[in-house]
Amino acid sequence: MAAAQTLVYHGNCHCGRYRFQVSTPEITSAISCSCSLCVKKGYLWLIPGEGSFTVVRDEGYLVEYQTSTLKDKFCSYCGSGVEGEHLTGPLRGKFLINIRTLREPYVNPFKLESAITVIEAEGDTRSIEPLAQQPDEPAAKSLFACHCGDVRAALLSPIEDEELKEDNCSKCVRLAYIGIYPTKNNVRIYGRDRVFEYLTGGKFTGSTYCKTCGVHVFSNIYGPPISVFDKLPPERKERALAVYHKNMAMQPLNVRAIEGVKVDTFQSLIKREDEGTDGYELDS
> What does the domain layout of the chain look like in residue ranges?
6-119, 142-273
CATH 2.170.150.70 is held by the domain 6-119 = yes
Q: Are 197 and 77 in contact (CB under 8 A)?
A: no
User: Residue 150: its pLDDT value, please?
Assistant: 97
User: Residue 4: its pLDDT value, please?
Assistant: 74
The Cα–Cα gap between 145 and 182 comes to 16
- CA-based diameter of the chain, in Å? 70
User: Residue 277: its pLDDT value, please?
Assistant: 74
Q: Is 138 helix (H, G, I), strand (E, B) or coil?
A: coil
User: Residue 188: its pLDDT value, please?
Assistant: 95
Beta strand 116-119 pairing with 30-33: parallel
User: Residue 3: its pLDDT value, please?
Assistant: 63
The Cα–Cα gap between 277 and 239 comes to 29
Q: Is 116 helix (H, G, I), strand (E, B) or coil?
A: strand
Select from 74, 66, 69 the least CA-distant residue to 92: 69
Q: Which fold has domain 142-273?
A: 2.170.150
Per residue in 126-158, pLDDT tens? 988 887 777 788 889 999 999 999 999 999 999
User: Residue 2: its pLDDT value, please?
Assistant: 57
Q: Give the chain's residues under pLDDT 70.
A: 1-3, 284
